[in-house]
Amino acid sequence: MPAEWWKNPVCWMGDEMERIAVIPNALRDIGLTETKNVVSLLTRRKITVFMEERFSSDGFCDVCFCSMETMLESAQAAVVLGGDGTILEIAPRAAQYDLPLMGINLGHLGFLAQAEKGDYTIFDVLLRGDYTVMNCMMLDCGIFHENREIGKFVALNDVVVSGDGYSRMVKLSASVNGTCIGTYSADGLIAATAVGSTAYSLSAGGAVMHPEMDAIMLTPICPHTLKARSMVVPGDDRVEIVSCPPYRSTAVVMVDGKRRHVLAPEEYIQVTRSQYRTKLINANNRNFFDVLREKLSD
């Protein structure tokens, strides 16, 4: 693999697969029926399958049960069964081990998944190496108090600062590399990656970015003005967001859809490109624009 391979978003074709982690969402896969089908298919093909120890009593055969850390470190790829939320949850941990992810959609939209429930042809693609691995930019969200970092989170989709509660307006100021780009009276402000541009940011009026782009999209949520627009800045820029008086509502920080922090008046967040990148397995015959049209058509 060439030096600085990470600079190329679509970077390499996979080696021959021998060790695969299977990560199911038990709430999406009732009785783990689909997971058992996938595990059976893989073990029949002489693949070493890793799963978390908590599934050891669920009737799986020929599976190596271990801790999450051992599984992520030992496998060559991970099959994630669930919706987009399941992939978002595992992505920061998998990224620390450079582990590629392949999603099987058991949810509603499944934009991050590579196949739908019951589509086992994707495993033919995986096992014969007919795929590329796309390196997707992630975001670091630092929480700062008096210029001292007190917390840090990693996001694949987006970081959102919003009012706490239904339709609670906040006043937010955003700056890029120290220069103020605007103050927004709005329901919130989204900082999204290219991958996250098809999620909350799109619903709030943001544009779609190709997932190979390294950029940060800033999209206000229901701004109380006719002038506020979504803005795209380079991926190596530093974005800071602070809550401004009058404090009509508490400002809450959401990272990939999960509530992570409540901003005090003297605190702010800093959003930058993470050192980690999520690796998504993509079949060579799967085109982003075809997926976009399929997933987002009326």
**Residue 202 among known ligand-binding residues:** yes
Residue 164 bears catalytic tag: no
- The count of C-alpha atoms lying within 13 angstroms of the C-alpha of 277, restricted to the half-sphere facing its C-beta, is 21
3-state class of 163 per DSSP?
Answer: strand
Contacts with 93 (C-beta within 8 Å, 6 or more apart), sequence order: 68, 72
Beta strand pairing status for 148-155 and 131-145? Answer: antiparallel
**Residue 56 among known ligand-binding residues:** no
Tokens of 170: 């906040």
Contacts with 30 (C-beta within 8 Å, 6 or more apart), sequence order: none
**Residue 120 among known ligand-binding residues:** no
**Residue 203 among known ligand-binding residues:** yes
Tokens of 103: 């999603």
Contacts with 166 (C-beta within 8 Å, 6 or more apart), sequence order: none
**Residue 198 among known ligand-binding residues:** yes
Tokens of 169: 């307006």
Give the Cα separation of 182 and 263 in Å (integer). Answer: 19
**Residue 37 among known ligand-binding residues:** no
**Residue 243 among known ligand-binding residues:** no
**Residue 187 among known ligand-binding residues:** yes
Beta strand pairing status for 258-263 and 251-255? Answer: antiparallel
**Residue 85 among known ligand-binding residues:** yes
Give the Cα separation of 173 and 194 in Å (integer). Answer: 22
**Residue 200 among known ligand-binding residues:** yes
Give the Cα separation of 41 and 20 in Å (integer). Answer: 12
Q: Measured on CA atoms in the order 199, 37, 27, 19, is the torsion positive or negative?
A: negative
- In the set 29, 62, 84, 164, the catalytic residue is 84
Beta bridge partners of 12: 133
Rounded CA Rg of the chain: 20
- Residue numbers belonging to the annotated binding site: 84-85, 157-158, 168, 187, 195, 198-203
- Residue numbers belonging to the annotated binding site for NAD(+): 84-85, 157-158, 168, 187, 195, 198-203
Would you name the residues annotated as active-site residues?
A: 84
